[in-house]
Each structure stands twice: as C-alpha cells, then as structure tokens.
Amino acid sequence: MSIEIEFTSPRKCVCDFTYNFYWQHQGKELDPDGVIPDQKDTDYTYRDLVTALRKKETVTIKGDVGKRLCSNAGADMRYFGGTGGIIDSGIVIVDGDVGTRMGMGMASGSIYVSGKVAEPLGNIIEVQSDLAGFKKYRSITDLLHSGSAEGLLPPNTFDGTRLTLADGIRRDTIAARCGVDCTVIVNGDADLSVGMLMSAGELRVCGDAGMNAGTLLSGGTVVIEGNAGEFAAADMRAGVLIIKGESKGFVGGKMRGGAVFLKGGGAVIPPVRKVPLNGADYRLLIRTMRTNQIEAMMYTKYSVNGL
C-alpha cells in the first residue's frame, strides 16, 4: 500500500514524525489530524503520511515540498506513546524540489528527490540511487547502525566504523540518535543540533557548529574544533562535549549529566558549574584532542554533579 499526493505549492513539515515539535505548541502551529493544505484532489492529513511511513509504506509526492521534510523520520517518539528508540521507516519519493533541513534528525528510511534540495540538509547522506532520474538520500544514523558503506558516493567514505563527511555539504543534527561505537568526522562546518540524542560513538566537527551542539546528548563524545552557537549542551544527560573554540553563550541549559569542556570560553547557565580537572580529564583531552597536558590545562570543565 502507498500514498500518492500532489502539492500545488510547497508545504513544510510533511512526513514530520514530531509534527513540528507538537509538544511545544499543542496544535497551534500544526494539527496532526488537519488536512495538509494545497493538495490536488486528495485530503490527506499530516498523520496519514507519518502513519504510512511507520507501516513501511511508500509516500510519493508530486510537486515541490517545503522545509523539514521527514523530520525525525524513524524515531519512535515517546511523547506519542513510543519507546524513544528507532523503528524502520518507509520510503518517500519527491518529484520536485525540497526546502531546507530535509531529514532533520532522521533515524531511518530513504528519500528520493528528482529536483534540488536546499541546504542545510539534515542527518542524511546521498547514496547511489536505484530509481532513474532521482537522487537517493539515506539517514546517516541508519548507515552507521548498518555498518555497511554500500552505495556511498565519494568523496564521503565509511569503513564500517569511521564515516568521513568530505562533500562540503552543510548539515544539521548529524549522528542524531546514534547508538553504536562509530566515529563521524565532518571536514568543515555543521549546522544546528549536532550529536542530538547520541548515546554512543564520537562525532568530530573540524569547523564551526551552530546552535544546540550536543543537545540531549545521552552518551558518547561530541567534539567541536571551531566555534559553537548558543545553547550548547542544552538538556544534556550524559557523555562528553568538547568545544575548542568560542561558545556564544547559554551553555548547559537544563543540563542533567555528563561533562562539558570549554577552551575558548563561553557563558554557562545553571545548573552547570565549574569543576576542577582531574587525571582522567587530562587523559581524555590529550587523547581526544590529540594534544599535550599543557594545552589540556587550558580547558575548563563544567558539570551538574561536580564529577
């Protein structure tokens, strides 16, 4: 079974498993059971499309689509009674262009697009397509969990444990919900919410990162070698966030656990507090940042429990 829908003008948040973060607006911005505007001869709701994908069905869209297509696809959202884990998601085929942040936080599934995709992209990567006239995109997290580089296009590389993003494409939410011991290297800058909900592995951004770096981090390590935007470590629960450059401020809002290491400075907010570095911290920084103890001493550590 599949759904076919045609849009006369682009609509945002199509196939969005969060319904535009419903818990923040309670339907004021998007009603999951509301009919998606600007359809031609159909009356599908936002929920209809998400339900189809949760059943591993195919959603085919004719016409252009707005931003945040397939946001958090494959995430079994706790707010809606799910486990908070990852489920298999169906396929989305778009015969048209797609706006920014396609695949934001996407945990599984594939997207085919015949037209242009605006940057920044989400947690997706292009792979070899098996549908003529369409480019194929796959969840980065799904790729990591599979351990297979089958279909991956150069210059990006993956050896089963180490993924290098070398295509120069700006992405957000990279490695969202990653739960395997893999390393992701971004050769360049990244956009918002890198490492969101990671529970294992290492993500290294060799340039700058946008807002919310390490948000909801639940394990593993996120390294920003450049500068980071506001609200780094927001709602962080566990793991390690290291920022070598400057942090714009509001670091650690609602942080619950883990540790943040800042070298370039940045204003922190409660409940985080400065704690002294110990021997294990020095070893971590020397190993992770490939440096020496003198430079490691230039970092300041913050946590919520003094550890």
The string of pLDDT tens digits covering residues 181-219 is 999 999 999 999 999 999 999 999 999 999 999 999 999
pLDDT single digits (tens) 3-37 = 999 999 999 999 999 999 999 999 889 999 999 99
pLDDT single digits (tens) 251-299 = 999 999 999 999 998 899 989 999 999 999 999 999 999 999 999 999 9
Q: What is the mean pLDDT of the chain?
A: 97
Is residue 106 predicted with pLDDT exceeding 90? Answer: yes
Domains in the chain: how many in total?
Answer: 2
Q: Select from 300, 69, 101, 98 the least CA-distant residue to 196.
A: 101
CATH number of the domain residue 240 falls in:
2.160.20.60
Q: What pLDDT is recorded for position 306?
A: 76
90 found inside a domain: yes
Report the share of the chain in percent with pLDDT over 90. Answer: 96
Question: 97 and 15 in one domain?
Answer: yes
Q: Determine which of 21-25, 41-45, 123-127 has the lowest per-residue pLDDT on average.
A: 21-25
Is pTM, for the whole model, over 0.85?
Answer: yes
Question: 137 and 80 in one domain?
Answer: yes
DSSP 236: -
Sheet containing strand 238-243, edge to edge, reads: 157-158, 162-165, 183-186, 202-205, 218-224, 238-243, 259-262, 300-303, 273-275
Q: What pLDDT is recorded for position 233?
A: 97
Q: What pLDDT is recorded for position 3?
A: 97
User: Which amino acid does the sequence have at 50?
Assistant: V
Q: Can you give the residue range of the structural domain that contains 213?
A: 188-307
Question: 135 and 59 in one domain?
Answer: yes
Check if the beta carbon of residue 221 is closer than 8 Å to that of residue 202.
yes
163 found inside a domain: no
170 found inside a domain: no
Question: 117 and 36 in one domain?
Answer: yes
Q: Across residues 124-129, what is the average pLDDT?
A: 98
Question: 92 and 194 in one domain?
Answer: no
Question: 98 and 29 in one domain?
Answer: yes
Question: 10 and 111 in one domain?
Answer: yes
Question: 259 and 144 in one domain?
Answer: no
Beta strands in the chain (DSSP E): 2-6, 58-62, 91-95, 110-113, 124-127, 135-139, 157-158, 162-165, 183-186, 202-205, 218-224, 238-243, 259-262, 273-275, 300-303
Q: What pLDDT is recorded for position 305?
A: 84
Report the share of the chain in percent with pLDDT over 70. Answer: 100
Q: Select from 244, 210, 195, 238 the least CA-distant residue to 224.
A: 244
Question: 200 and 144 in one domain?
Answer: no
173 found inside a domain: no
